[in-house]
Amino acid sequence: LVYSRLKADLLEDPAFSFTEESRQWIDRMLDYNVPGGKLNRGISVVNSYKILKGGQLNDDEFFLASVLGWCVEWLQAYFLVLDDIMDNSHTRRGQPCWFRLPKVGLIAANDGILLRNHIPRILYRYFREKTYYVHLLDLFNEVEFQTASGQMLDLITTHKGEEDLSKYKLPVYNRIVQYKTAFYSFYLPVACALLMAGENLDNYIDVKNILVDMGTYFQVQDDYLDCFGDPQVIGKIGTDIEDFKCSWLVVQALERANEQQLKVLSENYGNPDPSCVTAIKTIYTDLNLQAVFSKYEQESYEQLISAIEGQQSKPVQELLKSFLHKIYRRHK
């Protein structure tokens, strides 16, 4: 419902004089790309704000928090549309990638740009009178910059045609994940809620660091489940090995492999042939990466809990724990 209202606003934006054809294009493009995800990031804004407020939200507060939640979803849609073009991907959320549709093609690049441009249009409409308006703009700008920078790191590290496993080391992995995923997926929704609650983000550097660490932990899980998760449960068949991804698993394997195993890794990683994929998975199992992951998961959890309990504010503790418990030991 909030989504429909935001879409209707955008289709009547007075800053552009729509033709019928262009209005239909945007309508279809939004429906194809913006809803349809799990909406975790968007819902997080509302939940976080509820906790910070210490109770129920009135209609207006709920609406505004939902609007910010949708802005995070719009940001995500923008990143995904462009990422799929750059990765030459085929499917997304169980349907063809937007740029794969015959009528779309590289127009999708501009559609990604438009999705990004919709965010300040929405913020301007609903928040321009708020004292925290300028901080919202700064926040979205900073987080987008970090995400695009993480994407650059990812692209130049895992560059097609120059496959080179020697670059896949843990500090590189951590840096890519923090910038490319953690800031916008974990920090941004909470930061939106903090701004709505009247807080100054400069006082929440620790909270930012905790959320970025949680986002890293989340991505490690994602990489683990890509190989060892149940496709029935996670809803897709992982292809990180075939895609030569800088996955946490291959980073761990490279750290632990003997010379013989290193040879197998470098000869088979990134090859879509099923026998190559099996060779890689065999090494993962031989190196006992399932146990390495369990240990990592346990230690991350304990470190996060102790960092959270070091926070002064009880609502902030509650908020961070609710995030952590949503993802701890997840299977999908």
Binding region for a second copy (CB under 8 A): 13, 15-17, 19, 21-22, 25-26, 82, 85-86, 88, 103, 105-107, 109-111, 113-114, 117-118, 120-121, 124, 128, 133-134, 137-138, 141-142, 144-146, 148-149, 151-153, 155-156, 159-160, 172, 175, 179
From a second copy, Mg ion, none, which one binds at residue 222 (CB under 5 to 8 Å depending on kind)? Mg ion
88 binds, among a second copy, Mg ion, none (CB under 5 to 8 A by kind): a second copy
DSSP letter assigned to residue 58:
P
Which one of a second copy, Mg ion, none interacts with residue 206, CB within 5 to 8 A by kind?
Answer: none
Where in 224-243 is the site for Mg ion (CB under 5 A)?
A: 226
Phi, psi angles (nearest 5°) of residue 303: -65, -40
Closest chain position to Mg ion (CB): 87
Nearer to a second copy, 155 or 327 (CB): 155
With CB under 5 to 8 Å by kind, the binding choice for 233 among Mg ion, a second copy, none is none
Site for Mg ion in 75-114 (CB under 5 A): 83, 87
Residue 245 dihedral angles phi and psi, to the nearest 5°: -70, 145
Q: What is the size of the binding site for Mg ion (CB under 5 A)?
A: 4
User: To which residue do tokens 């990143």 refer?
Assistant: 79
Which of Mg ion, a second copy, none binds 133 (CB below 5-8 Å, type-dependent)? a second copy
Kindly tell me which of 137 and 262 has the beta carbon lying closer to a second copy.
Answer: 137
Min dist CB 183 to Mg ion, Å, is 16
Residues in the chain: 332
* Residue at token pair 């995923």: 181
Separation between Cα atoms, residue 282 and residue 277, nearest integer Å:
9
Residue 142: both structure tokens together: 């900073």
Q: Which of 51, 47, 43, 42 is nearest to 311 (CA)?
A: 51
Give, in degrees to the nearest 5, the angle at Cα 96 between 91 and 97: 75
The residue whose two tokens read 């970025």 is: 212
Of 144 and 222, the one with the shorter C-beta distance to a second copy is 144
Both tokens assigned to 64 = 């505004």
Two structure tokens written together for 115: 């999705």
Query: Given CA atoms 71, 76, 80, 86 in this order, what sign does their dihedral have?
Result: positive
Contact residues: Mg ion, CB under 5 A: 83, 87, 222, 226
